[in-house]
Structure 1
Amino acid sequence: MFETIENIDGALVYHGNMHKRIYFSEAENVDLDNLLLKMKDLAKKKRYEKILGKASEKGVDVLKSKGFTVEAKIPGLYNGTIDGYFLAEYPNEERHVNDEKSIKTIATVKTIAQAANKPNTDSFFQMPENLKIKELSATDFHTLEDLHKKAYKYHPHQIKKADYFSKLKDLNHQFYGLFQDGELLVSAILAVNENESNVEIVDFVTHPDYRGQNLSYFLVQDIKNKMDKLGCKTIYTMVRSTSYGLNITFSKHGFILAGTLTNNCLVRDAMESMNVWYFKRS
């Protein structure tokens, strides 16, 4: 399995050796004090280097008291009214350190991306007629796996497989693809949280022959147009902090920068910080 996904004390928890990280989400009626003890115990047992938690306003003080610090904040993440926070704690302090070159690159990407921000009404481009977007079903999961194999040919540990997509589908994830003449060029995976009225774009993958063409723009545009259908008030996503293209794409669509998650996950062969972007209906 690409990453272990389990329910611990009512909280959804993702963890694994690839990212050497735990990512958990606060939920209703979760005893955070008890959960955090288990998260820290799990991190110690598995030698994970980072614990990342997503919490509402009521959980922030508890996490801070346990050594967590806020890395990003999304206003109204929960049902459009309650702010959401991403907080991190580093069992391995070295994981929290970025070199000077990375810090400068991240700052430059943020500056350029935010300068590209467009009003919500000024972010629509007509999609070329030879491109089609459709929602993917379980019968498409092997096609989706093939796209991952092509995109991560030299990084096989990054490939998500059909059985992992099936697991995500059971956890209320949706899958969309951009096609040209029947060939899948770009895919997006959405984590739909109906209780919180939000959607996270958790994964973008582009066919290596079509990188640099900004085709993800049309998928983001389509996802925004589906907000009512998805029943969400907020869309958010995590983007490689050194990627000019995707950061600019989300900014052009009116997304707002919420913060940066330091050395959050392994991308290809390097640990990458991630910028958090969000979009809310005005």
Structure 2
Amino acid sequence: MFDTLEKINGATLQHGRAHNRVYLMDTEQYNWDLLIENMKTIAHKKEYDKILSRVPEEAIDVFKSKGYTVEAKIPKLYNGEQAGYFLADYLSSERANSPSQVKKTITSVKTIALAANSSSEDAFFALPDHLEIRKLGEKDLPSIIRLHEMAFQSYPFPIHDPEYLKQLLHENHEFYGLFENDALLVSAILKIQENESSVEIMDFATHPNYNGQNLNYYLVQEIKQRVSSNKYKTLYALVRATSYGLNITFSKHGFILGGTLMNNTVIRGNLESMNVWYCNLSEA
């Protein structure tokens, strides 16, 4: 059960049963009224219960007038100049609400993560000698697929398919991995958005035997250093809002909390809220 990527009037939409939502990922057109109408038509036809849109600041008044609410903001997301916003329209009251205990956990995670915020200098830890981080290529696909099979019970895209991963590698994505004795322990996929001068860190996968060891810390550190040395101006990630470890990791590396996307993403069969962490690299 994979999500669909669809181009409509210059906009790229991700939608499907995996997350039961429509997600406006990016757009090259600015007829916001028509785009909002088209997304709502798809959502009603497919019986989705959330529409999430990532748009530049110039669009937020139109989206708000149609009932959308701002869930997160990334200043200077677009080419280091215009802010980007995540706005949501909930088509069911159930999707819009979370149990009180989950809300308490999300609040606790934010509080502890924000308290851990530090400068890049204070956050730096040398990679242990027995570990190695490198950019991954086609020769690493078998290792990536094995790790994905162990880390993800289900996924909205065919990340176990070598042809799909090859396509990502050739179409504005980069893969990074952390190894111990040539065994891939942690991987991450980066989506390079050249037209925005931004990079999104996506899809951390950790070998189940190494969960809880915070190896993501070293991978985030390396990715931030590599991206900072290039022309990109903003680095961001969507992180499971109830995960203490990964939220603390991003905060320690100087990322800023931009907001929370409520009941947004299905992970391991559970509907999860996602915190948006960002770093404006020119200011880091």
Whether TM-score is above 0.5 comes out as yes
Task: Provide the aligned length of Structure 1 versus Structure 2.
Answer: 280
How much has 1:157 moved relative to structure 2?
A: 5.2
Distance 1:232 1:248, change over 3 A: same
How much has 1:232 moved relative to structure 2?
A: 1.0
1:165 is matched with: 165
Between 1:26-35 and 1:15-24, the stretch displaced more is: 26-35
CA distance in 1, matches of 2:172, 2:82: 22
2:53 is matched with: 53
1:103 is matched with: 103
SS at 1:18 equivalent: coil
CA distance in 2, matches of 1:67, 1:138: 44
Contact 1:177 1:186 in 2 (8 A): yes
CA distance in 2, matches of 1:272, 1:239: 10
SS at 2:33 equivalent: helix
Percent of matched pairs sharing the same residue = 52
Contact 1:26 1:56 in 2 (8 A): no
CA deviation profile, 1:229-265 (whole Å, cap 9, x unmatched): 5421111101010000000000000001000000001
Gaps of 5+ in 1: none
In the alignment, residue 41 of structure 1 is paired with which amino acid? T
Distance 1:28 1:9, change over 3 A: same
CA distance in 1, matches of 2:17, 2:23: 12
CA distance in 2, matches of 1:64, 1:13: 19
Contact 1:236 1:276 in 2 (8 A): yes
Q: Describe how 1:154-193 pairs up with structure 2 within 5 A.
A: 155-156=153-154, 160-162=159-161, 163-193=163-193
CA distance in 1, matches of 2:183, 2:141: 14
How much has 1:141 moved relative to structure 2?
A: 2.4
In the alignment, residue 11 of structure 1 is paired with which amino acid? A
CA distance in 2, matches of 1:14, 1:86: 14
Distance 1:44 1:150, change over 3 A: same
1:145 is matched with: 145
CA RMSD of aligned residues (A): 1.6
1:123 is matched with: 123
SS at 1:212 equivalent: coil
Normalised to the residue count of structure 2, the TM-score between the two structures is: 0.94
CA distance in 2, matches of 1:14, 1:146: 25
SS at 2:63 equivalent: helix
1:196 is matched with: 196
2:210 is matched with: 210
CA distance in 2, matches of 1:6, 1:176: 27
In the alignment, residue 189 of structure 1 is paired with which amino acid? I
1:244 is matched with: 244
In the alignment, residue 161 of structure 1 is paired with which amino acid? H
SS at 1:195 equivalent: helix
CA deviation profile, 1:189-216 (whole Å, cap 9, x unmatched): 1111111111111111100001111111
How much has 1:65 moved relative to structure 2?
A: 1.5
In the alignment, residue 81 of structure 2 is paired with which amino acid? T
Determine if the alignment matches structure 1 residue 260 to structure 2 residue 260.
yes
CA distance in 2, matches of 1:205, 1:177: 9
Normalised to the residue count of structure 1, the TM-score between the two structures is: 0.94
Distance 1:30 1:161, change over 3 A: farther
CA deviation profile, 1:156-197 (whole Å, cap 9, x unmatched): 456722243234334411111111111110000111111111
Distance 1:269 1:26, change over 3 A: closer
Contact 2:2 2:17 in 1 (8 A): no
In the alignment, residue 160 of structure 2 is paired with which amino acid? K
